[in-house]
């Protein structure tokens, strides 16, 4: 647990909170919670009734690792279940749309009427950034670069179901959030976007809870078009979807479901096999619903499995691939050209070009290397720092673990200098190129970014 968070027991409403034990107690009831859930609870308790943004909480509780907001969403959902809280009428944790979370129950500890305030130095000013890069968090609006063709394919094609496929950290969540932003401004509310994070949805209860969280995050948008409260009050996922569809159909509007972290559907396949065909019908069988799934290659598993129906991914294929950015978009990202002139970083043209090339136009790596470049002052030192970064090594390790054995063989072969004739004929080349892991330069297939190439050589 981070040192700045106290370990003293305290009282939250009816619950006794025991941080050292990761335990909640009430009367004769005891509930064990995960350590990170306890840290989130403590952080909120340090400033009860104050709204804390998601970024503030992430900066405090997950300060030592790079994570996405989905881990916080699942932690909040877990806390609510442990506390027996109602998301619609909260007694303990309230979601403030587009702002964050706050505790609404009284917080007490021995000898004090209230918990102490969070030390001022731990409060994150979201507008005061030492460097203008966002590393490891989703972005949209002025912080989002490229992907115009992919977004157009999602929004303008006749397909009602789309699968967007990419490696980790390539910007899948940002892609969905940018679509959410674009469609939220649709005149007359003809398209109603709903970002739905499936992380942690290992059974029907968790899947429904995640959908409720999505509704609450979009509550103001949904309420503005006259959707009844029954959508939020439904105790069943599919009942909630029906209420939402009917309300939108009356307005000749379309629901745009933006489903993130959909690898969790594989767990649902194992834990609640009968649920998947039902979910597939709900997503594909109604003209007023358009669905976008994002995931890694791991979701290909559902293209092969059938349970009393077609494979789940039928209707979502072929996928749209998110690989590296185009040359111009990578350059603009490095220079942060969408920010005001005074906020743009001082990176010369040659360095920005070299950074983009070394990173294989991968948006996460570009921003990380640019950040290190500004901190350290020269590109060689910055590249050494990124190469030694355990988060980057873990990124590659996980990405390769999601590929097929043949695809891993091809990557290692290219990194080892295997002849292009042998590699080019391999059936895995097309997929690896679309994922942005390999590229063709001067007639040769190469590993797309220098950091992955080095990692492949060192890992054997």
Residues 311 and 201 in one domain: yes
Say how many C-beta atoms besides its own lie within 10 A of residue 55's C-beta. 15
Residue 248 lies in a domain: yes
Residues 74 and 21 in one domain: yes
Find the domain containing 351 and state its range.
338-388
Q: Who's near 421: CB < 8 A, 6+ residues apart?
A: none
Residues 384 and 413 in one domain: no
Residues 155 and 233 in one domain: yes
Residue 397 lies in a domain: yes
Number of domains composing the chain? 4
> 363-376 and 390-401 helices cross at what angle (nearest 10)?
170
Dihedral over alpha carbons 415, 396, 198, 407 (to 10 degrees): 20
Residues 238 and 384 in one domain: no
Residues 264 and 169 in one domain: yes
Residues 343 and 224 in one domain: no
Dihedral over alpha carbons 316, 408, 389, 119 (to 10 degrees): 30
pLDDT by residue for the chain (460 residues), tens digit each? 444 455 678 888 888 898 888 889 887 788 888 888 999 999 999 888 788 988 888 888 887 666 667 678 778 888 988 888 876 678 889 887 667 898 988 888 644 544 443 333 333 333 334 568 988 778 899 999 999 999 999 998 888 899 999 998 999 999 999 999 999 876 666 888 999 988 778 788 888 878 888 887 787 777 777 776 667 677 788 888 888 888 888 888 888 999 998 998 998 888 888 888 899 998 988 888 999 999 999 999 888 765 556 788 988 999 999 999 999 999 999 999 999 998 899 899 999 999 999 999 999 999 999 999 999 999 999 999 999 998 899 889 989 998 989 999 999 999 988 776 667 777 788 899 999 999 988 888 899 999 999 999 998 7
CA distance 244 to 229: 10
- In the chain, count of helices (H) and strands (E)? 20, 15
- Could you tell me the two tokens for 145? 């670069």
Residues 374 and 420 in one domain: no
Residues 69 and 151 in one domain: no
Of 322, 351, 371, which residue sits at a domain end?
322
On whether the pTM is more than 0.85, the answer is: no
Decide: 57 and 101 in contact? Cβ < 8 Å.
yes
Residues 179 and 295 in one domain: yes
Dihedral over alpha carbons 210, 213, 219, 222 (to 10 degrees): 0
Of 264, 292, 322, which residue sits at a domain end?
322
Of 269, 293, 322, which residue sits at a domain end?
322
Residues 18 and 98 in one domain: yes
CA distance 453 to 81: 44
In CATH, what number is assigned to the domain containing residue 89? 1.10.10.10
Residues 357 and 295 in one domain: no
């Amino acid at each position: 647990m981070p040192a700045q968070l106290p370990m003293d027991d305290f009282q939250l409403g009816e619950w006794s909170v025991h941080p050292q034990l990761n335990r909640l107690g009430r009367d004769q009831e005891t509930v064990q919670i995960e350590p990170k859930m306890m840290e989130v609870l403590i952080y909120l308790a340090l400033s009860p009734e104050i709204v804390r943004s998601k970024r503030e909480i992430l900066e405090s509780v997950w300060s030592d690792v790079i994570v996405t907001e989905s881990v916080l969403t699942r932690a909040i959902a877990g806390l609510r279940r442990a506390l027996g809280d109602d998301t619609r009428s909260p007694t303990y944790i309230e979601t403030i749309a587009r702002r964050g979370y706050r505790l609404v129950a009284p917080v007490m500890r021995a000898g004090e009427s209230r918990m102490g305030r969070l030390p001022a130095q731990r409060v994150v000013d979201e507008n005061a950034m030492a460097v203008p890069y966002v590393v490891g968090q989703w972005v949209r609006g002025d912080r989002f670069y490229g992907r115009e063709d992919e977004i157009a394919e999602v929004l303008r094609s006749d397909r009602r179901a789309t699968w967007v496929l990419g490696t980790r950290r390539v910007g899948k969540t940002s892609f969905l959030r940018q679509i959410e932003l674009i469609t939220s401004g649709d005149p007359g509310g003809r398209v109603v976007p709903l970002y739905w994070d499936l992380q942690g949805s290992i059974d029907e209860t968790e899947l429904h809870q995640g959908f409720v969280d999505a509704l609450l995050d979009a509550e103001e948008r949904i309420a503005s078009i006259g959707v009844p409260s029954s959508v939020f009050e439904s105790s069943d996922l599919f009942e909630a979807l029906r209420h939402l569809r009917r309300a939108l159909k009356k307005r000749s509007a379309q629901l745009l479901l933006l489903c993130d972290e959909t690898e969790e559907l594989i767990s649902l396949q194992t834990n609640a096999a009968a649920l998947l065909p039902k979910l597939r019908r709900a997503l594909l069988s109604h003209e007023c619903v358009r669905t976008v799934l994002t995931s890694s290659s791991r979701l290909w598993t559902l293209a092969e499995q059938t349970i009393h129906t077609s494979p789940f991914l039928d209707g979502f294929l072929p996928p749209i691939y998110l690989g590296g950015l185009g040359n111009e978009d990578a350059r603009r990202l490095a220079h942060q050209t969408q920010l005001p002139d005074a906020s743009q970083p001082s990176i010369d043209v040659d360095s920005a070009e070299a950074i983009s090339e070394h990173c294989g136009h991968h948006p996460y790596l570009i921003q990380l290397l640019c950040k290190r470049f500004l901190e350290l002052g020269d590109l060689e030192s910055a590249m050494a720092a990124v190469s030694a970064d355990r988060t980057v090594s873990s990124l590659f390790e996980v990405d390769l673990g999601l590929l097929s054995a043949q695809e891993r063989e091809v990557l290692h072969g290219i990194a080892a200098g295997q002849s292009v004739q042998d590699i080019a004929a391999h059936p895995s080349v097309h997929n690896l190129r679309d994922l942005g892991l390999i590229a063709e330069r001067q007639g040769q297939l190469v590993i797309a970014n220098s950091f992955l190439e080095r990692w492949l050589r060192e890992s054997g």
